[in-house]
Amino acid sequence: MGALLMAIAVTFQAGCAQSQTSTVQVTSYEDGEVLRYPVILLKGTVADKALTSITAVNESSSRDTRELNGLVHEGQFKVLADLVPGTNRIVLRTGKSETRITLEYKPQTNPYKVRVFYFVGKDGDTRYQTPLPDDNYDFRGKLGTALTLMQTYTAEEMHRLGYGRRTFNTELDEDGKVIVHLLKGPLPAEEYWKPDGVNGGALYGQISRTLSKVAPEPNTRNLVIVGLSRFDP
């Protein structure tokens, strides 16, 4: 009898754990699915429609992005996850419930890449106007994040249109971050600020010529962000 009760108790506990775990369901990916880009959008459902937040923890990662927060609205959730090359064991937690999913990230070997450049004056000053008094002017972090999210958005839109999660490739460093190049123009920043200074067509020409000299690469498309804008009251 004791053994029977113990077996029943174990079965009951396992059933409760299964029930609790199953209250969070991932609908955007299958367990074991292979991805070719690093930041993915996890979508799914939760049983408790009163919940408003969810956390994705990548147990396979040691990066500062291993834990990311997302939103829950009326039982539907969306949350980003930053993958590392190889196996990624991800835990999704919301309220008192959680679920797990394992995904594989295989970096692209596509030789055609999108590169990103930050264009400034010849003095190399990378500061920009900001409302934040303690801004650290991390243009590489900001632009790298923007390009990564564009990559994710492209994959999601291609998937929505029926083509699968296809997206462009980017330049990554050894830590898996997007490489953002600094591109210096031939003139001081003050020359670009003048109302009668370099116009749009001339600026495009300067950028094109500078790129062809310092960073020629036939298998790329170059995204250049001009860091010369200033608010003129």
85 and 122 assigned to the same domain? no
On whether the pTM is more than 0.75, the answer is yes
Q: How much of the chain exceeds pLDDT 90, in percent?
A: 78
**Domain end point (choices 105, 134, 154):** 105
128 and 154 assigned to the same domain? yes
Query: How many Cα atoms occupy the beta-carbon half-sphere of 64 within 13 Å?
Result: 2
**Domain end point (choices 60, 85, 105):** 105
Can you give the pLDDT at residue 231?
A: 67
Q: 125 pLDDT band (50/70/90 cuts)?
A: very high
Give me the domain span that covers residue 195: 113-226
93 and 134 assigned to the same domain? no
Can you give the pLDDT at residue 146?
A: 97
Whether the Cβ atoms of residue 66 and residue 83 lie closer than 8 Å to each other = no
Q: How much of the chain exceeds pLDDT 70, in percent?
A: 89
124 and 161 assigned to the same domain? yes
- Reported as a single tens digit per residue, the pLDDT across 160-187 is 999 999 999 999 999 999 999 999 999 9
- Reported as a single tens digit per residue, the pLDDT across 21-60 is 459 999 999 999 999 999 999 999 999 999 999 999 999 9
Q: Is residue 218 part of a domain?
A: yes
Whether the Cβ atoms of residue 56 and residue 70 lie closer than 8 Å to each other = yes
Can you give the pLDDT at residue 193?
A: 84
Q: Is residue 38 part of a domain?
A: yes
List of residues 6+ apart from 124 with CB closer than 8 A: 182, 184
- Reported as a single tens digit per residue, the pLDDT across 128-150 is 989 999 999 999 999 999 999 99
> The tokens of 162 are what?
């029926």
124 and 212 assigned to the same domain? yes
Q: 8 pLDDT band (50/70/90 cuts)?
A: very low
**Domain end point (choices 82, 105, 128):** 105
Q: Is residue 199 part of a domain?
A: yes
Closest CA to 180 of 141, 211, 214: 141
Q: Is the pLDDT of residue 69 over 50?
A: yes
Q: Would you tell me how many other CB atoms lie within 10 Å of the CB of residue 3?
A: 7
Distance CA 7, CA 14 (A): 11
Share the mean pLDDT of the chain: 89
Q: Is the pLDDT of residue 17 over 70?
A: no
Q: Is residue 56 part of a domain?
A: yes
Q: 202 pLDDT band (50/70/90 cuts)?
A: confident
Number of domains composing the chain? 2
Q: Which residue has the tokens 């999601």?
A: 156
Can you give the pLDDT at residue 13?
A: 46
93 and 190 assigned to the same domain? no
Whether the Cβ atoms of residue 180 and residue 225 lie closer than 8 Å to each other = no
60 and 140 assigned to the same domain? no
Can you give the pLDDT at residue 132?
A: 92
Compute CA 61 distance to the chain's CA centroid, rounded to the nearest angstrom: 15
CATH of residue 54's domain is: 2.60.40.10
Q: Is the pLDDT of residue 19 over 80?
A: no
For the purposes of burial, counting CB atoms within 10 Å of the CB of 10, is it exposed (0-12), middle (13-18) or buried (19 or more)? exposed
Q: 6 pLDDT band (50/70/90 cuts)?
A: very low
Whether the Cβ atoms of residue 104 and residue 86 lie closer than 8 Å to each other = yes
Q: Is residue 9 part of a domain?
A: no
